[in-house]
């Protein structure tokens, strides 16, 4: 039997230690009388896992003190109200029952696994549920939420505020005028009797007065307020809605966003109702769907019901013309990709 390894190959392997040996000249040495050199791993900020862990909380209210930016792990909590009002890199929630959970914005994903009978408030880049039952999720998410091996999942538009929320959302790249909860993707077949495993409700989630008071005492406001910057939607329909939009540059992000928030406040003051909004980088879609794509890098769109004559606002905005309505509706269909639960 012949051998498929040559002497040359074995020769190379025998010199492996020499090839990966670090020269003594490459090792930093302390200056005479100075401190020992510091490597990159020595200079990293020490992470305390307890700052980013919530576990075994039962029958109580907890507002977790922590710091921005870490990955949050929450597990084995029951019959509790839990608030974590910091921005996170990602969140994992495991084995929680009968809890109300309020989270700060996540730069990545929020995973909810093996949970039941919980109400969750979150804003994130992606949401995934697995092996969950009877979960109510009040959410702002620019990508399709994902449901897997779960049932009786209810999605609501996020409607809350606390003092740091707007800056936190900006820091993790979330925009309040784009929310794709109408585009939930379910990996599992329809449930019992052909019923879907999830449902999307245009309005905000309802909780008890007592529960709402607990959140308010901790700084989280759920009731409508003139300071709201996340749109509150209505489930009413209008066969002939009014479309308003503001145009601007992509950067800085908050410049056009703040103008849109000012317009939103004027819309509420006028008595008009918001049925939908969209924050769009015009270069990301077919220019035929955005007639003014060459005029601006970014558009924030409002779909409204009510009397436009009552609207008074110092922000410069435009009303979608009749000629642009057909491509606009095609654009909305393209962006929403609605699926039925």
**pLDDT per residue over 12-39, tens digit each?**
444 444 544 445 554 555 556 556 665 5
Global pTM value: 0.81
Gap between the Cα atoms of 56 and 76, Å rounded: 5
Gap between the Cα atoms of 33 and 296, Å rounded: 61
3 state SS of 30: coil
Q: What is the pLDDT of residue 141?
A: 95
Q: What is the mean pLDDT of residues 157-173?
A: 94
Residue 11 pLDDT more than 50? no
Q: Please, how many CA atoms are within 13 Å of residue 186, restricted to the half-sphere of its CB?
A: 23
Question: What are the domain boundaries of the chain?
Answer: 52-218, 242-336
Q: What is the mean pLDDT of residues 276-303?
A: 80
Q: Tell me the DSSP string of 173-212.
A: T--TT---GGG-EE-S---GGG--SEEEESS-----HHHH
Q: What is the pLDDT of residue 204?
A: 87
Cβ distance 143 to 123 under 8 Å?
Answer: no
Most confident by average pLDDT, 33-42, 167-176, 219-228: 167-176
Summarised one tens digit per residue, pLDDT across range 185-222 is 998 877 656 678 999 987 889 999 999 999 999 999 99
Residues marked as binding?
Answer: 108-109, 125-128
CATH 3.30.70 fits 242-336, yes or no: yes
- H-only helix segments in 208-252: 209-217
Q: Which long-range contacts (CB under 8 A, 24 or more apart) does 319-328 make?
A: 319/242, 319/243, 319/244, 320/242, 320/243, 320/244, 320/245, 323/291, 324/291, 325/243, 327/288, 327/289, 327/290, 327/291, 328/243, 328/289
Summarised one tens digit per residue, pLDDT across range 43-85 is 555 667 888 999 999 999 999 999 999 999 999 999 999 999 9
Residue 309 pLDDT more than 80? yes
Q: Rounded to whole angstroms, what are the CA distances from 272 to 84, 157, 267, 275? A: 34, 18, 6, 10
Total Cβ atoms within 10 A of residue 248: 18
- 316 vs 282: which has the higher pLDDT: 316
Residues marked as binding for GTP?
Answer: 108-109, 125-128
Fold of 52-218: Pectate Lyase C-like (2.160.20)
Residue 3 pLDDT more than 60? no
Summarised one tens digit per residue, pLDDT across range 234-274 is 877 778 889 899 999 988 888 999 999 999 999 999 999 99
């Amino acid at each position: 039997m012949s051998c498929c390894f040559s002497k040359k190959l074995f020769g190379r392997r025998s010199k492996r230690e020499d090839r990966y040996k670090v020269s003594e000249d490459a090792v930093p040495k302390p200056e005479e009388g100075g401190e020992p050199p510091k490597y990159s791993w020595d200079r990293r900020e020490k992470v305390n896992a307890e700052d980013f862990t919530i576990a075994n909380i039962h029958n109580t209210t907890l507002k977790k003190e922590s710091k921005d930016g870490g990955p949050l792990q929450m597990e084995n909590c029951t019959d509790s109200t839990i608030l974590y009002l910091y921005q996170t890199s990602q969140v994992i929630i495991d084995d929680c029952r009968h809890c109300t959970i309020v989270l700060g914005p996540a730069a990545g994903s929020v995973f909810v696994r093996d949970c039941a009978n919980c109400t969750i408030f979150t804003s994130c880049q992606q949401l995934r549920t697995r092996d969950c039952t009877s979960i109510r999720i009040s959410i702002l998410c620019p990508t399709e939420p994902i449901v897997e091996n779960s049932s009786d999942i209810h999605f609501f538009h996020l409607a809350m505020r606390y003092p740091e929320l707007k800056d936190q959302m900006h820091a993790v790249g979330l925009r309040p005028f784009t929310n794709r909860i109408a585009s939930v993707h379910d990996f599992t077949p329809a449930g019992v009797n052909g019923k879907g495993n999830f449902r999307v409700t245009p309005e905000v989630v309802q909780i008890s007065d007592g529960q709402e008071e607990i959140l308010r005492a901790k700084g989280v406001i759920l009731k409508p307020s003139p300071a709201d910057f996340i749109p509150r939607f209505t489930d009413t329909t209008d066969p002939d809605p009014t479309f308003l939009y503001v145009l601007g540059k992509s950067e800085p992000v908050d410049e056009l966003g703040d103008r849109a928030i000012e317009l939103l406040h004027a819309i509420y003051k006028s008595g008009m109702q918001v049925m939908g909004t969209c924050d769009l980088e015009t270069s990301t879609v077919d220019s035929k769907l955005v007639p003014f794509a060459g005029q601006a890098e970014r558009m924030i769109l409002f779909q409204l019901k009510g009397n436009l004559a009552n609207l008074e606002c110092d922000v410069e905005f435009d009303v979608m013309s009749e000629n642009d309505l057909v491509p606009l509706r095609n654009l909305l269909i393209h962006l929403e990709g609605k699926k039925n639960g």
